[in-house]
Chains A and B, each alone.
Chain A
Amino acid sequence: MRIRAQGEGGVVVELGDGIDPAVNARVHQLARAVAARLGDEVLEAVPSYRSLLVIHDPLRTPRERVVERLRSLVEELEHAPAIAPHRVVRIPTCYGGVHGPDLAEVARLSGMTAEEAVRRHAAPAYLVHFLGFTPGFPYLGGLDPRLATPRLDSPRARIPGGSVAIGGVQTGIYPVESPGGWRIVGRTPLRLFDPRLGSPFLLAPGDGLRFVPVDEATFDVIAAEVEASRYLAEVEG
């Protein structure tokens, strides 16, 4: 464990060095412990692959106090069993066609059929390592290495919200229309960021996620239900 400063009100706790699901699971465990135990002393905690940024008001809680509390929480965690994602959110996804213009190319680069690429992409329960880039964008761990494909040479100016894409060894979902250089293999009718809702984020850091292939007709039905705020995301476990 390493503790570093980010400004006068930020403490970064690093729990490992690389992108590793076991390290990331620890990060989420620490984030939950901070929320449960240090709620009065810290303002918020932001997880990423291998570290947790803990933000506090140094006029209310001195840095030394926050660091000391974090050290003892991490020590306790070392003796606690690692925990799997507490829920797996099912993401209906229409692969290929108009919704996944790069599926054929991803399959070709991976040396497999489009059907095989979809099967492999929809197989794992991915871990939401953290959210960033745009509100609600999940950085997912667990992509089949055979599906890893380089980013586009020139990013697209507009990617529709809900697009499911692969960039290098990562896969993710664009929550809102934005520019982006990842290859689009499909699209979900779900909204990962829905400003109309009181809690607008579909996913939380540490969640599990599985893509469930659906056809275009099903995509349209679910999209209409989402539009009418009638769709409830399915959760495994």
Chain B
Amino acid sequence: MIAVVKPGLLTTVQDAGRFGHRASGMPVAGAMDRLALAIANRLAGNDPGAAALELTLVGGTFRFEWEVIAALAGAELPASLDGQPIPTGTPFHAPAGATLTLGVASRGVRAYLAVQGGIGVPRLLGSRSTYARAGFGGFEGRALRAGDRLPVGNAPGHASPGAALLPGEFPELAAPGSTVTLRVIPGPQEELFHAEGLETLHGTTWKVTTQNDRMGYRLEGPPVRLRGAADIVTDAVVPGAVQVSGDGRPMVLMVDCQTTGGYAKPFTVIGPDLRRLAQARAGDGVRFLRCTQAEAVAALEEERSWRST
């Protein structure tokens, strides 16, 4: 068991996501930074999609009631085990009774704490991910609170923990205040935008607003001009879809987004780049860069090779 001493700002159980039920209105959920989840799992000796804790900005304090192998990846936050510093990207052994104390992220937003065997909450509709808006999945369908005790699973993994990552092996993590570039594939409703509106979308360095969460990131900048109304006949949306509401403001949908939406969508952030936004915070810059299907597939291949190295 892992006892939650301090839960941190927003800590939930997440795995690779819940697939196959979007037609019933069930969002995918899962890790916001799926690559960091996979790396933490690999280091802890798990399959890349095993359930881990997603920590947000402020880590929290956890006591391991049993001996475990664990690892941290993603956002860089100070970590210590019974007072001894723990580097991110290195598997560590925690004896029974040890306390892991995590601080505030200096780079990135979301960190993943994986333990060997995974977090052993029940699988619901094929996933252990938390979808807190419907109180579904994860640990009691909600973010963790002080006093919660999490079961450690016995998920089959590689059995032995992975080797520590060398500094150059970390996926990039932008410093706070910098600008991330997100590659996008045009569509599905690019034609609803004025050429001028598309220029605004592609030519602006957008700012992440404080309205950012697991459902979506609202961006600030000049209004985007549409040809007509922003409302479309409601259709299905995916995480990464960029929707522009009537006031001309773009919002990037994230993993907890609803399965359908009624706003026009000029383009979609490619899956492998969505983690860059998931690690950005209010005030950071965002630029959109048009790419081709072939470029997106190459990026996906690169991401998968990271995950399986």
A55: nearest chain-B partner, CB-CB: B238
Given contacts A7-B268, A200-B125, A135 and B24 within 8 Å (CB-CB) = yes
Within 8 A of B (CB), among A120-156: 130-137, 139
Asked if A211 lies at the interface with its beta carbon under 8 angstroms from chain B, I say no
B135 contacts across to A, CB distance below 8 A: 176, 195
Q: Are B185 and A134 in contact (CB under 8 A)?
A: no
A-B contact count (CB 8 A): 138
B268 contacts across to A, CB distance below 8 A: 5-7, 10
Q: Are B234 and A132 in contact (CB under 8 A)?
A: yes
Q: Are B237 and A6 in contact (CB under 8 A)?
A: yes
Asked if B300 lies at the interface with its beta carbon under 8 angstroms from chain A, I say yes
Q: Are B260 and A5 in contact (CB under 8 A)?
A: no
Q: Are A6 and B297 in contact (CB under 8 A)?
A: no
- A10 to B260 CA separation, bound complex (whole angstroms): 14
How many A residues are at the interface, by size bracket? 35 or more
Q: Are B20 and A58 in contact (CB under 8 A)?
A: no
- A129 to B4 CA separation, bound complex (whole angstroms): 43
Which of A5, A12, A59 is within 8 Å of B297, CB to CB? A59
Instruction: Mark each residue of chain A from 17 to 29: 1 if its CB lies under 8 Å from any CB of chain B, else 0.
Output: 1110000000000
- A133 to B27 CA separation, bound complex (whole angstroms): 10
A45: nearest chain-B partner, CB-CB: B23
Instruction: Mark each residue of chain A from 58 to 91: 1 if its CB lies under 8 Å from any CB of chain B, else 0.
Output: 1100110000000000000000000000000000
A57: nearest chain-B partner, CB-CB: B300
Q: Are A8 and B24 in contact (CB under 8 A)?
A: no
- A58 to B272 CA separation, bound complex (whole angstroms): 12
Asked if B97 lies at the interface with its beta carbon under 8 angstroms from chain A, I say no
B141 contacts across to A, CB distance below 8 A: 195
A137: nearest chain-B partner, CB-CB: B25
Q: Are A59 and B185 in contact (CB under 8 A)?
A: no
Q: Are A135 and B234 in contact (CB under 8 A)?
A: no
Q: Are B236 and A53 in contact (CB under 8 A)?
A: yes
Q: How far is the CB of A54 from chain B (nearest CB, A)?
A: 10
Lowest 9 A-B CB distances belong to which pairs? A132-B260, A8-B296, A53-B236, A7-B268, A131-B25, A4-B188, A46-B236, A5-B187, A48-B235
Give B residues with C-beta under 8 Å from A: 19-27, 124-125, 131, 133-136, 141, 185-189, 233-238, 240-241, 258-260, 265, 268-271, 293, 296-297, 300-301, 304
Other A-B pairs beyond A48-B236, A133-B25, 7, CB < 8 Å: A4-B187, A51-B235, A53-B236, A58-B300, A132-B25, A133-B258, A137-B25
